[in-house]
Amino acid sequence: MELGYAVAGLVVGFIVGLTGVGGGSLMTPILLWFGISPATAVGTDLLYAALTKAGGVFVHHKQKHVDWKLTAWLAAGSVPASLLTLGLLSWLHLSSHALDSVFKLVLGVALLLTAASILLKPRLIKLINPQGHPPAEFVLKPLPTVLIGMGLGVLVTLSSIGAGALGTLALFLLYPALPTTRLVGTEIAHAVPLTLVAGLGHASMGNLNYMLLLNLLMGSLPGIWLGSKLTRRLTDAWLRPALAVMLAVVGAKLVM
């Protein structure tokens, strides 16, 4: 089973390196398939995401792909929202069965939203800028950014999903003038503190398997490296729709 976890990490890491999406949205359902409880799957995946994306932040920062002001405003909404969500879960004293049911439902909804964002992003780009003109100058919008952060904070804390595809899409719709490289770098930089806070909160509630986390990292780190190396050789024109359909199917099963 430990080898299976490492292989799962390798496959998910490869897809993330190749397409830039699919981390939590693939890892958490895989852990459920392995028989891990929803609460433990979410908690473990959150710290897994924080550790794997931390290295990406360093690379993007060196390449000046991170807008730190935008990152700070996102975190100003997401981190407090995550802490409040964790506090509410702790205060409610839900049974393990009830807690798993909540995580399973939110996870299913998050997967459906992620699948929709992957499929609809190209059409939204054309809708916002049908003529293909250069977008207006980038202007920071604190209040909407904080609100986006709050929504991501709640969703990520309850499902471990949303910081990637959904966060990137939300930022794109709000800041179409932000270059794609800076948008991706900023999203990754924001995901690290959010997933770290949420993951540590889940760990304090007992929703973390340390050996599982270690096995996932052993597979995912080389997988991300390999996927990144092949990203220019393989097209994701079929990978992204296939990924979206798979996430939608899994999400629908979890919701039903």
Per DSSP, helices labelled H in the chain are 2-19, 23-33, 38-62, 68-92, 96-128, 142-159, 165-174, 180-204, 210-230, 239-255
CA–CA distance, 221 with 242 (Å, rounded to integer):
23
pLDDT in tens, 36-45: 888 898 899 8
For 238, the domain range is 1-255
pLDDT at position 1, please? 55
Question: Would you give the DSSP letter of residue 93?
Answer: T
CA–CA distance, 148 with 5 (Å, rounded to integer):
33
Structural domains counted in the chain: 1
CA–CA distance, 175 with 183 (Å, rounded to integer):
9
pLDDT at position 163, please? 72
Residue 123 burial (CB count, 10 A): 9
For the whole model, what pTM was predicted?
0.83
CA–CA distance, 119 with 108 (Å, rounded to integer):
17
199/94: higher pLDDT: 199
pLDDT in tens, 207-245: 889 999 898 888 887 877 776 666 555 555 666 676 677
Contacting residues for 119 by C-beta, under 8 A, at least 6 apart: 240, 241, 244
